[in-house]
Structure 1
Amino acid sequence: MAVHDRTVSEQELPDCASEIQDTQGLPDQRRIPINKVGIKDIRHPVRVKDRTQGEQHTLAHFNAYVDLPQHFKGTHMSRFVEILNDHEREISVESFRSILEEMRARLEAEQAHLEMAFPYFIMKQAPVSGVESQMDYEVTLRGHLTPEDYQITIQVQVPVTSLCPCSKSISEYGAHNQRSHVDLQVRARDFVWIEDLVELAEAEASCDLYGVLKRPDEKYVTEHAYENPKFVEDLVRDIARRLEDDERIVWYTVGAENFESIHNHSAYAWIERDKRTPLPDGA
């Protein structure tokens, strides 16, 4: 005898659901609205545009939230997961807005927020030997949708080398340097490649980093950093100047943290700028 799996039809679902109380949908007497409610740190495969290969498949961590009016007791957490799963592997920068619109509609919310964090890989060539190796960068996309506005922010963390100008000026035999993290966040009127932001940050560092270096490459990066000393303040200002010149960018933040090699603390600097606001006179 053959045994066949039986699935619940769509017509049967309302009858089943009607027998179980919807606790989240009950009224709440405290009358306190919640700004963000949802799920955090759910993993899902995604595809991202790659300037060289066309697209890159990676694994992202998602946070998804909506606002909750004061008269609802709770939101339907499972719907967040259902929305992500409905898109399967098709989640991308281009589909961000449609996901947010679906979140607002299905969860009966005014505002929707979506964050997608993932490692992004770029093949780099060592500066002298030309040997290739993958470098990974932490990227986060943040989307925010209201009835009046839609914003998407791209954040990229770029590891670089920085060399201390003060140490170089007072030392006879060398200068202390360290690995640094540059964090860029941008909002743009036109499409911006992740690679564009990485290259911009690396170009203003004392030197960029590589996955593999041969001895001639190591000599080059050491000497190149020595010839390009940067305080943490220099680093954020030089990157900000490049972002000012990029007409695609309308808003940005740039932060840099130097993990000091001769101190047990970090040096840090940060700039935020809305380019729609004029710079101060003389800037």
Structure 2
Amino acid sequence: MSHQLPDVQASSPDVAVGLSQVGVTGVQKLVKLAREEKRPIVLMAEFEVYVDLPSGRKGIDMSRNMETIDEILEEITREEAYRVEDVCGDAAEKLLAKHDYTTEAVVEMEADLITKEETPASGRQTQNTATIIASATATEDGTREEIGAEVTGMTVCPCSQGMSEARAREKLDELGVDEETTEEFLDAVPQPGHSQRGHATLTVTADGDPDVDLGDIIDIARDAMSARIYNMAKRPDEDHMTYQSHANAKFVEDCVRSLAEDTVEQFDHLADDAVIKMVQSNDESIHEHNAHAERELTMGQLREEVTGQD
């Protein structure tokens, strides 16, 4: 004789406190990213999936929920998708529909995107890696989707470079070099400054289809730092990166401001209520700590700050 097992999760908790996010993390699925007239890119994506839990319910039926999540993600990732944020959005909406006790479903995804490119000086084939960041939040009022990326580059500290320039001016003056020639030399030959590997993150969160190209996000983030870096580099490429970065020295704050300026220029069509998140973190080379700066605001606020217009 079989016994019906009790549904403990549906019972009332001892402490009637609701929870904003309950779910699972570390769910890995293959995602096929479609491309026009090309084979799709296959991503190994990792998902985090959450729903909210009302105060009168003890749990979310974790095993049953995981089965539902797995079925939804399998269905969503079976076909090719042009926008990874839509993968999250479709999954969040299906998850919300299957839970009568929840009012919000969140699906987050990260995956490494590897693209082919050429080195800047020698023109050799190499690859670049960016971490795709996508998510969606579904409620009865609609779905908001996020798309973005984290990339790696390099920065040079303007402060230490300024000290090097001062030392160079002093020495050139001792050697009898006139001021005009000194300035011409320093303009042509950027002086040393301590460099670091930097990590730039840019995401856009909006309703519906904001028409944001992931490739544009990656380009904006890579160009926000002092110089792009490359996985493979010959000597001319190393010289290019060294010169480029020292000719474009930036504080961590400057990188976020570059993200802001280029976002407004590239994505001026975005609605005012779209949310822009910009983060720069630098792995300092002469300190044990790291440098960090970030800003999160609406596109309307960002547009007003960057252009000075409403």
- Calculate the TM-score normalised by the size of structure 2: 0.79
- Is this contact kept in 1: 2:157–2:249, CA < 8 A? yes
Opposite residue 88 of structure 2, the aligned amino acid is F
Q: What's the secondary structure of 1:96's corresponding residue?
A: helix
Q: Deviations over 1:198-246 (max 9, x none)?
A: 1112223211011111111111111111111111111111210111222
Query: Cα distance, 1:179 vs. partner?
Result: 0.7
**What count of residue pairs does the alignment treat as equivalent?**
268
Which amino acid is the alignment partner of residue 273 of structure 1?
L
Question: Residue 260 of structure 2 corresponds to which residue in structure 1?
Answer: 240
User: What is the SS of the residue equivalent to 1:75?
Assistant: coil
Letter in 1 for 2:105: A
- Does the 8 Å CA contact 1:207/1:228 hold for their aligned counterparts? yes
Letter matched to residue 260 of structure 1: E
| Aligned pair partner of 1:186 in 204, 208, 211 | 204
Report the Cα offset of residue 53 of structure 1. 4.2
Deviation, 1:177, is 1.0
Distance 1:247 1:51, change over 3 A: farther
C-alpha separation in 2, matches of 1:30 and 1:174: 61
Deviations 1:116-145 (A, max 9, x none): 111111212101111111111111211101
Q: Which residue of structure 2 lines up, in the alignment, with residue 4 of structure 1?
A: none
Asked if structure 2 preserves the Cα contact closer than 8 Å seen for 1:240 and 1:254, the reply is yes
Look up the match of 2:94: 102
1:268 to partner: Cα distance: 1.4
Q: Distance in 2 between matches of 1:205 and 1:184?
A: 12
Question: Displacement of 1:51 after TM fit?
Answer: 7.5
- Per the alignment, residue 255 of structure 1 pairs with 279
- Partner deviation per Cα, 1:79-112 (whole Å, 9 max, x = no partner): 2223223335337433333211211121222110
Q: Which amino acid counterpart does residue 185 of structure 1 have in structure 2?
A: T
3-state SS of paired residue (1:276): helix
Note the alpha carbon deviations across 1:37-89, whole angstroms, 9 max, x for none: 11111111112245794631111111101111222221122322232233353
Q: Given the superposition, is the C-alpha separation of residues 176 and 282 from structure 1 closer, same or farther in structure 2, using an over 3 Å criterion? A: same
2:131 to 132, 135, 138: 138
The within-5 A match list for 1:1-283 is 19-28=4-13, 30-50=15-35, 53=38, 55-77=40-62, 78=66, 79-90=68-79, 92-108=84-100, 109-171=102-164, 172=168, 174-188=192-206, 190-245=210-265, 246-249=267-270, 250-277=274-301, 279=304, 283=308
Letter in 2 for 1:105: A
CA RMSD of aligned residues (A): 2.4
Quote the Cα distance in structure 2 between the aligned partners of 1:51 and 1:230: 37
Deviation, structure 1 residue 176: 1.3
1:268 aligned partner, one-letter code: H
Identity %: 27
Higher mean C-alpha deviation, range 77-86 or range 107-116: 77-86
Per-residue displacement from partner, 1:167-214 (whole Å, max 9, x unpaired)?
A: 222114622111100111212552222211111122232110111111
Give the conservation status (yes or no) of the 8 Å contact 2:119–2:237.
yes
Deviates more, 1:85-94 or 1:183-192: 85-94
Gaps of 5+ in 2: 169-190
CA distance in 2, matches of 1:87, 1:187: 20
Q: Comparing both structures, which one devotes a greater share of its residues to helix?
A: 2
User: Contact (CA 8 Å) 1:127, 1:217: kept in 2 or not?
Assistant: yes
